[in-house]
Amino acid sequence: MRVVIRGLGELCITAGLVVLLFVTYELWGTGRYTKAQQDVLGKEMMKSWQAPKVTTERVKLGKGLALIRVPRFGSDFRFVIIEGVQPSDLRKGPGHYPGSAMPGQVGNFVVSGHRTTYSAPFNRAGELRKGDKILIDTREQQYEYRVSDRRIVKPDAVEVTAPVPFDPKKKPSKRLITLTTCHPKYSAAERMIIFGELVAAVPRAGAK
């Protein structure tokens, strides 16, 4: 009996260590991966912004599209937004839904991001309040959106990404932003949606 109990104890310890290592990788290891990708993509994007502009230039899937900053999240919050929302894209950082509006355009600029792993860019999305700023930097402009609403929806509620959220058939007239992430934390049972509307656009500092 002692041998059995000791064996079970050792198995529990081993299982606990395996779980601990897995959680450590999920929270820390994936973050290191995202940070490395962000560094590379940020340098690539800034280099392209400083180069002569090409009229037909279009951001490729998996590459940097813009920068997102949210003052409520602190001065260190700064992520390159990736073009694309495939799992491989979102491991690099928040991703722009292809086909949705581009920054500053009429319609709905939709960005999705992880809430817990891969640097968790939208970890604090639940802290956003009406009127909070969401700043988007592009090659030439900085767009200032203000949070207008927050909703919790089912994972299949694709109507939130429509040009006019919740009304896919309506023609858009406003310049909107929508942030989407998992809810609650550590679960994909629902989605948290942050809505915002463009209030200002100014030339980006250092733009050519």
Query: What structural domains and CATH numbers belong to the chain?
Result: 2-203 (2.40.260.10)
Structure tokens at 69: 């900053």
Stretches where the chain sits below pLDDT 70 are: 1-28, 55-56, 208
Amino acid sitting at position 62:
G
pLDDT for residue 122: 97
For the entire predicted model, the pTM comes to 0.85
pLDDT for residue 1: 55
pLDDT for residue 21: 41
Amino acid sitting at position 205:
A
pLDDT for residue 53: 82
Distances (CA, A) of 174 to 19, 147, 171, 193, 198: 47, 14, 10, 18, 8
pLDDT for residue 58: 83
Amino acid sitting at position 199:
V
pLDDT for residue 25: 45
